[in-house]
Structure formats: C-alpha cells, structure tokens
Structure 1
Amino acid sequence: MSDVTLQNFEAEVINSPLPVLVDFWAPWCGPCRTLGPMLEKLEAEAGGTWKLVKVNVDENQQLAAHFGVRSIPHVVAFAEGQAVNQFVGVLPESQLREFIDTLQPTDGELAVQSAQALAEAGDREGARAAWQASLAHEPENDANRLAYISFLLDDNAIDAADAEFGRLTARAPQEDGYAAIKTRLDAMKGLDDLPDGAELKAQVQADPANLAARLDLAKVLIARREYQPALEQLMEIVRRDRGFEDDIGRKTMLSVFDLMADSPEVVSKWRRQLSTTLN
C-alpha cells in the first residue's frame, strides 16, 4: 500500500503493470478506517497480483474532483491504465473479494496474452496452441476467435481459418473487425477460382469499364495483403458505378480500411477520397 498524489498518480496507477485499487479516503472518515485495513489485508493475501494505493482527498482535491468523488470511502479499480469499476462506502469482505476477482484475468485471457507473446517472439506453433487453449476456455468469445482467424490467415492456413469462422456465434457480425476478416477470408478462399493478377490487370487495361475484372483484381490484391492497390481498383468501381453489385466497391473499401488499422494516416487519406467521390 502506498500514498498517491497528483504528482505520482500517473506513474503509480496509469502506468502500473498490475491492476490497482485507488482508495479515496480522509483521516476524519470513520468508514474509511474500517475499509482501509480490510483492503490492506486482501492486498497482502494477493501476493502481488494487484496493488492498493490511497489518496487523501483533503490533500488531493483535484484528483478527487477528477474522479467525481463526492462521498468517501470511494474505491476506483484500474486495469491497464483505465478505470474499470468502482464502489462507494464499505463492502463486506466477501463482496470485496468478488470486486477484486473481476480485475484478475481469466484463464482464457491469460491464454490470449500467451498467444500474442509467442507470436511476437516468432513461435507460431506455440501461439497457435495458446490460441486454441484460449478458445477452449471461452468458446463463445467471438473477438478472440476473430483474432485467431486473422492469425491463421497470416499463416495462409485458409482451411483452418474457414473452420474457425464457422464456429463464430450469431453475435459475431456485431464485433469490430468482423466484416474485414470475412472480406480477407473470402478473398483468400476464392483465389484459386480467379485468374492470376497479371491476367486481371491486362483485362482492366484492355477495358477500363470492366468492373467485374476490377473487383476480381481487388480480391486478389486483398488476398495478397496489397491493400492500397486494391483500394485503387475499388475506388474506380465506386466512381464508375456506385450501384455495381449492390455498392460492393464502397462496402469492400470499408472492410479494407479495417484491415489497414495499423496505417491510420493512409486510411484517413483514402477515407477523404471516398467521401469526395460520394459527394
């Protein structure tokens, strides 16, 4: 347990690698003297899996105001630098334990963290096993399954990715990135049924109004992760015929934007161009 002020709040709380409970208190507060020792006891039992810090509201009114503290004790829980939960007053120890349990990563979340670390280290087989373990713990976690599908597509494991896509729940289309992953998967699945890129480029050059060839070329480019050239073809479809195949040019562009989330400046440029074309 440590005392925190405005000066060290960022270092102790926002940048903490551990979950943090911030106990807003004051020396004159009777309930605070009840809650404080309970929190300190649970922190000692936790063995370093989370930490407790205390903010004296009399001495740190700006911090208290920032977090809307009007009554104390007021406890705010932080995870990865974000305030994720809070309560006001004194809770029984059993409820305190339940509150703290929500801050600890589940077995599935730990497996996801392991998968990501292994992938970054270049251990693709180990990462694949960790992804599978995470989904065994949380089979209906569509966000995790979509991330695993993206991982499989990076390895060109199209059949495995397609099988995982079939295991998504009915809620999956509501997840961020769903349309992008589906676009990429469909493009890679259809690659064998399309002419090669050189032939499609020749068709487009011979007949610039051949929107079907432009769309097929865009699919080939998406499968190859050549997103900017794909956007050029899709933009031309939008310019020439907004209604072509139910506005597929624009819709596919939006999916490609999601696939290029790690290039926000490039995406911003293309979004402006699309907006100008549509207006």
Structure 2
Amino acid sequence: MSDATPAFHFDVSLQDFEARALQPSLEIPVLVDFWAEWCGPCQTLKPMLEKLAEEYQGRFLLAKVNADTNPELSQYFGVRSIPTVVMLVGGQPQDGFTGALPESELRAFIDRFVAPPATDLRAEAAALAQTGDWNGALQILIQATQENPSDEGARLDAVEALLELERKEEAEQLLGLEYSTEADRAQSLKARLALAANAVDIAPLQAKVDANPDDHAARLELARALAGNGQYEAAMEAALEVVRRDRFFDAGAGRQVLLEFFEALGSNEHYDDLVRKYRRALSATLN
C-alpha cells in the first residue's frame, strides 16, 4: 500500500525521526514500525498498520522505519528481529511487540494508547448548533479537540462556532494551524472569516443604494457589509440585484461577489439550501 494519506502514515529516517516521530508523540501516540523489504511478515503487517492509521484518522500516527537503511535507530530501540513495533507516547517508548499480529490484536494494542473517537462529541455539538446554542456547541468541541488534538474536523467545527459567536480573533488563530486532511473546508472558512472583516454599519450604505438604485458599486459594498454581519441571504440578494441590473458592471463584479459568498458558505451544510437557491438564481439570471 502506498502512502495515500501521508498525514497519518509516513516513512522516517534517522535524519527526521525526532521531528516526525518523537516530537509529535508529545501530543499524539506514534506507532513506529521497523520493517525491511526482504521480510515476509513485514509485508503482511505494514499494510494492516497503514489501513488502521487511515481508519483512526489521526488518533495515532504511524512512522515506518526501514531497519536496513537506519541501523542506528534499530540499535537505539533494541530491535533484534523484524517486524518490531514500538508505541511512543510523550516522547518515550511505552510498549511494543515483535512479529505480525492479527488485525484484532493490533486494534487492541493501539486502543490502549489512543483517545476515543471524537465523533460522538461532534454529533452532540452539531445537535446543539442546530438549536442555535453555539456556546454549548463550542464547549463540547473544545472537549473534543482536547481529547484528540489531531481531529481537524472537530477543530474546524469549533471555528464555525466561533464565527457564529463573532469571536473572530480566536477563529483566526485556529485557522492558522495546519489542515492537511480538511484543506478545502479550512480554505472555505478562511473565506468566511474574510467576509466577517467587512462588518460595518449597514444603514449608510442602504441609504446610499436607496437614493440611487443604479449605484452598483454601493450595492456591492452593501452586499459585503451584509455578509460581514452574517446576513447572508440579504447579501446574496443584493449582489444578485447588481447582476440583474448590469451583469457586465466592473467586469462582472456582481457575479464574482456571489461566487465569493458561495465559497465562504460552501463548507457548512446549514447554508446548503441558501447556496443552492442563489446558484440557481444566478444561473437563471445569466442565461
């Protein structure tokens, strides 16, 4: 099996072992697999470990060491035969085994060290979010991320909650972390955070548009301000009105603003119906 998900399993050598295995083990359990090309049991064990690393979605990391090309590491960990597997927690070996175990025994070994999945906590938080209790949802998501710091989904759920609560600085800090498995959603939330920067007093802009309905620049400024204040449907309607009145204004600026809104809201299923509605409306207007 190839490293289809290198975020969860990867090859390491003496040169990068500290950075990619020892240091991460201070926060997340790291399973170190010593293997070699000529070792038959290794070819059985390694794919099973890779499969579990992907299934566990970052609740542990799998660092694969070619024992033939890294004798110093093998010696340091006292490897006498391969495959040998060592579990690092807190920068220290905690336990290990030699030989290829059945998958059920591998799971039992790994489950002794990894945090329980945060899926149930995320579902509980999502249920609270549906009722509008974003504070309650955020508290549960904080717990989920503490139990499993590598769960990018829970982390981004927390960003959603922070944005709903208008806690933009905290959302920005979370979005500054690395997202390898949830890159698209992280990018979408960054776009939504950028919209929030446009939160200004809407009344003067609305008065300007009311005074001159053909002031398309003012209407687009109003659309962005509405989005910045979380009034997404009104924002989309304002941008769409520019397209209706003059689709060619400022090289299609009305359409571009709508696309920005779609990107910013596309990661949140709560806004799926709204985005679909205005995608259809934009298409109908342009066609």
Query: Does structure 1 residue 235 correspond to structure 2 residue 240?
Result: yes
Aligned CA distance change for structure 1 residues 158 and 106 (closer, same or farther; 3 Å): same
**1:150 aligned to which of 160, 164, 181:** 160
Query: Does structure 1 residue 210 correspond to structure 2 residue 215?
Result: yes
Query: Does structure 1 residue 187 correspond to structure 2 residue 190?
Result: no
Aligned CA distance change for structure 1 residues 183 and 238 (closer, same or farther; 3 Å): farther
Amino acid at match of 2:198: G
Deviations 1:141-195 (A, max 9, x none): 43322211111122221221121121243664423x742x33432232332xx4x
2:270 paired residue number: 262
Aligned CA distance change for structure 1 residues 188 and 106 (closer, same or farther; 3 Å): same
Deviations 1:68-122 (A, max 9, x none): xxxxxxxxxxxxxxxxxxxxxxxx9832355799999834335434544666788
Amino acid at match of 1:207: N
Report the alpha carbon displacement of residue 224 of structure 1 after superposing the two structures with TM.
3.1
Query: Does structure 1 residue 223 correspond to structure 2 residue 233?
Result: no
Q: What pairs up with 1:63-102 in 2 under 5 angstroms?
A: 94-98=102-106
Determine if contact 1:153/1:185 at 8 Å carries over to the other structure.
yes
Determine if contact 2:134/2:161 at 8 Å carries over to the other structure.
no
Aligned CA distance change for structure 1 residues 238 and 124 (closer, same or farther; 3 Å): closer
Q: What pairs up with 1:119-158 in 2 under 5 angstroms?
A: 127-158=137-168
CA RMSD of aligned residues (A): 3.9
2:18 paired residue number: none
Aligned CA distance change for structure 1 residues 244 and 168 (closer, same or farther; 3 Å): farther
Number of residues of Structure 1 aligned to a counterpart in Structure 2: 183
Determine if contact 1:234/1:250 at 8 Å carries over to the other structure.
yes
Structure 2 gap segments, 5+ residues each: 1-99
TM-score (norm 1): 0.51
Q: State the identity %.
A: 26
Determine if contact 1:238/1:250 at 8 Å carries over to the other structure.
no
2:22 paired residue number: none
Determine if contact 2:255/2:282 at 8 Å carries over to the other structure.
no
2:175 paired residue number: 165
Structure 1 gap segments, 5+ residues each: 1-91
Aligned CA distance change for structure 1 residues 121 and 232 (closer, same or farther; 3 Å): closer
